[in-house]
């Protein structure tokens, strides 16, 4: 077992369970669709809050899909086998996170401009919205993997995981929404993207290590 085989296997399993692929997207769409009904249908008001609504929806949709990241492997014993192979566990974790982003994060980034149009997002916000989601959703998957690894062996781990990782998500949410708002206002959002890029680089290095350690602790109990 190596990282490539784990990547191919998880990708095949994901596309065999197409219903699970649609759950985050449907949740994302429902949040954006129901929000105008709960507040105000005024186009200007919706345009002002669209960046925050879309990003909160993407964050919650990612949380919805994280519970199954390691759960199936834990239940069938595959997770314990990953600890025994000579391949570094962090590489296997990175492969699983990559599949999670491809099937759960990337579709959100692609779908977001459509929701922005539906919410009346001003023209200047579409490019930063797509770019921030393209950079930010991998961060959500990487940080979420740490929480998934810590709670995979718990019966109610899905309830505990958001409490563990939401504080790590807050900087992403703040800078991403601010970047979109800067684009709407006609200002430069390069600094916001630079922060997200630096956060992504840090997460790619540290999150697999932390997740691998969390899995070892969980499976050792």
- Region for residue 16 given its phi and psi (left: phi exceeds 0; alpha: psi -120 to 50; beta: otherwise): alpha
pLDDT at position 179 is 93
pLDDT at position 215 is 83
pLDDT at position 18 is 67
Q: State percent of the chain over pLDDT 90.
A: 24
pLDDT at position 36 is 75
Q: What is the mean pLDDT of the chain?
A: 84
Domain containing 64: what range?
3-220
Give the pLDDT mean for 112-129. Answer: 87
Confidence of residue 53 (pLDDT cuts 50, 70, 90): confident
**How far, rounded to the nearest angstrom, does the alpha carbon of residue 200 sit from its chain's CA centroid?**
12
Confidence of residue 158 (pLDDT cuts 50, 70, 90): low
For residue 15 the two structure tokens come to 């596309």
pLDDT at position 89 is 84
Residue 198 clears pLDDT 70, i.e. is over it:
yes
Residue 220 clears pLDDT 60, i.e. is over it:
yes
pLDDT at position 26 is 84
Between vectors from CA 52 to CA 196 and to CA 60, what angle results, nearest 5°?
A: 80
Is the distance from CB of 144 to CB of 88 less than 8 angstroms? Answer: no
Question: Residue 193: exposed, middle, or buried by beta-carbon count in 10 A (0-12, 13-18, 19+)?
Answer: buried
Alpha-carbon distance values, 194 to 84, 94, 149, 175 (Å): 38, 22, 28, 10
Measuring CA to CA, which residue among 182, 172, 175 is closest to residue 125?
A: 182
Q: How many domains does the chain have?
A: 1
Half-sphere exposure of 77 (CA within 13 A, CB side): 0
């Amino acid at each position: 077992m190596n990282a490539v085989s784990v990547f191919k296997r998880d990708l095949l399993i994901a596309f065999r369970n197409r219903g699970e692929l649609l759950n985050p997207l449907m949740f994302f769409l429902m949040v954006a669709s129901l929000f105008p009904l709960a507040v105000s249908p005024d186009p200007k008001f919706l345009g002002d809050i669209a960046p925050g609504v879309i990003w909160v929806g993407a964050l919650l949709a990612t949380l919805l899909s994280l519970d199954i990241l390691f759960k199936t492997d834990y239940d069938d014993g595959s997770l314990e086998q990953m600890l025994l192979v000579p391949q570094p566990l962090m590489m296997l974790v990175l492969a699983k996170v990559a599949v999670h982003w491809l099937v759960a994060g990337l579709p959100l980034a692609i779908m977001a401009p459509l929701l922005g149009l539906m919410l009346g997002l001003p023209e200047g916000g579409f490019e930063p919205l797509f770019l921030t989601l393209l950079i930010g959703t991998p961060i959500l998957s990487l940080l979420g993997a740490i929480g998934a690894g810590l709670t995979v062996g718990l019966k109610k781990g899905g309830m505990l995981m958001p409490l563990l990782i939401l504080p790590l998500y807050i900087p992403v949410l703040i800078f991403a929404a601010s970047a979109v708002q800067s684009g709407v206002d006609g200002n430069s959002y390069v600094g916001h993207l630079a922060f997200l890029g630096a956060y992504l680089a840090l997460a790619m290095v540290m999150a697999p290590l932390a997740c691998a350690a969390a899995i070892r602790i969980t499976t050792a109990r």
